[in-house]
């Protein structure tokens, strides 16, 4: 076989192995979940939480490679699957008495890399502080139920269980210390409201700076 043909074959094999490696990484996590769920006293929600923390760390590592490391944040939110297809990392930083948002898109491979640096308005900062206090409640579970919640005009709620969850992982510095959470994006509780407050502000900001990777 000619050398050029060998090179083409090797390139083709490498292209196939990259997604397989990523899939194997997730499969390993899924195997851990299955073991935890069916091996007796282990808590399946704790295993799912550990899996989501692993996924979040992989996204955070990619963000560090793309944008460089950041200072410790008051809140970090990692959206694992935004509608654009990219993951997003949102860091809220306390700087000189003001809360600043550093948000970054994290494509898996090539794609637009977008970054937002902005100061949260005072009313948004006040709401965030109140939600951080609520997130300190020990009754709030780390891993929330996978439910899609719709609030009706009369205040009643429709709740539907979801199979394919859009997962958002949150680390929050609360009055009782650091807490970590995983939520379905369509759920409704103080953690999800905290997520939506930060992500909602970022979504309407005109200050995004984007460039092709």
What confidence score (pLDDT) does residue 34 get? 57
What's the farthest any 2 CA atoms get from each other in the chain? 73
Contact 106, 88 (CB under 8 A): yes
C-beta of residue 41 within 8 angstroms of C-beta of residue 135: no
Give pLDDT, residue 71: 75
pLDDT value at 26 more than 50: no
Burial label, 193 (beta-carbon count in 10 A; 0-12, 13-18, 19+)? middle
Torsion angle in degrees (nearest 10) through CA of 92, 123, 129, 105: -20
Predicted local distance difference test score (pLDDT) of residue 108: 83
How much is the average pLDDT of 191-209? 95
Rg (C-alpha) for the chain, rounded Å, is 20
Which sequence spans correspond to the domains of the chain?
1-35, 43-212
Query: Between 56 and 160, where is the model more confident?
Result: 56
Determine the average pLDDT of the residues in 32-60.
77
Residue 33 pLDDT: 56
Query: Quick one: average pLDDT of 132-146?
Result: 93
Of the listed ranges 14-28, 48-62, 108-122, 129-143, the least confidently predicted one is 14-28
The confidence band for 158, taking pLDDT boundaries of 50, 70 and 90, is: confident
- Average the pLDDT over 18-25 and give the result: 37
**For residue 57, how far is the Cα from the chain centroid?**
9
- Tokens 């510095």, located at residue: 173
Binned at pLDDT 50, 70 and 90, residue 148 comes out as confident
In this predicted structure, the answer to whether residue 209 has a pLDDT above a threshold of 60 is: yes
177-184 and 112-119 strand pairing: unpaired
Residue 208: the pLDDT is: 96
Mean pLDDT of the chain: 82
Statement: residue 198 has pLDDT above 50: yes
Is pLDDT of 10 > 60?
Answer: no
């Amino acid at each position: 076989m000619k050398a050029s043909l060998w090179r083409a074959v090797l390139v083709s094999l490498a292209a196939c192995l990259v997604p397989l490696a990523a899939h194997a990484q997730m499969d390993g996590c899924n195997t851990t979940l299955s073991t935890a769920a069916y091996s007796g006293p282990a808590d399946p929600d704790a295993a799912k939480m550990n899996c989501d923390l692993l996924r979040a760390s992989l996204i955070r590592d990619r963000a560090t490679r793309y944008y460089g490391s950041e200072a410790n944040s008051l809140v970090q939110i990692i959206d694992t699957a935004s509608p654009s297809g990219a993951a997003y990392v949102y860091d809220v930083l306390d700087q000189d008495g003001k809360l600043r948002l550093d948000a970054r898109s994290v494509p898996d491979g090539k794609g637009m890399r977008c970054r937002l640096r902005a100061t949260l308005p005072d009313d948004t900062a006040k709401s965030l502080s109140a939600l951080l206090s609520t997130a300190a409640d020990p009754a709030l579970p780390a891993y929330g139920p996978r439910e899609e919640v719709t609030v009706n005009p009369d205040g009643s709620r429709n709740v539907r269980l979801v199979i394919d969850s859009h997962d958002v992982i949150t680390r929050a510095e609360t009055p009782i210390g650091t807490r970590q959470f995983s939520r379905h994006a369509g759920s409704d509780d103080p953690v999800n409201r905290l997520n939506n407050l930060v992500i909602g502000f970022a979504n309407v900001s005109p200050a995004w700076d984007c460039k092709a990777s």
